[in-house]
């Protein structure tokens, strides 16, 4: 299982030491750009799920005109 955890910068060293003490845990830091990319991918995945729900009639969509007026 993969798990993404957000930890304060000043606490990372201690947390990483703790994780390394478990033989069954592989922990490695990711860069800030990679973390941002993961967040964007999660948002895109959520958007696709919402499209499926709109098509199934479980969510109400809005027109492009409404979206543009909001901007």
Q: Is 16 exposed, middle or buried (0-12, 13-18, 19+ CB in 10 A)?
A: middle
Q: How far apart are CA 47 and CA 36, in angstroms?
A: 17
Residue pLDDT, tens place only, 8-45? 989 999 999 999 999 999 988 888 899 899 999 999 99
Domain spans, the chain = 9-70
Q: How far apart are CA 62 and CA 43, in angstroms?
A: 18
- Whether the model pTM is above 0.75: no
Do 49 and 42 touch, CB atoms closer than 8 A?
no
Residue pLDDT, tens place only, 48-68? 888 888 888 888 888 888 878
């Amino acid at each position: 299982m993969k798990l993404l955890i957000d930890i304060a910068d000043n606490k990372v060293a201690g947390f990483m030491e703790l994780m390394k003490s478990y033989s069954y845990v592989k922990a490695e830091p990711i860069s800030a750009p990679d973390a941002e990319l993961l967040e964007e991918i999660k948002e895109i995945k959520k958007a696709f799920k919402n499209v499926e729900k709109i098509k199934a009639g479980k969510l109400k969509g809005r027109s492009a005109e409404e979206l543009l007026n909001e901007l």
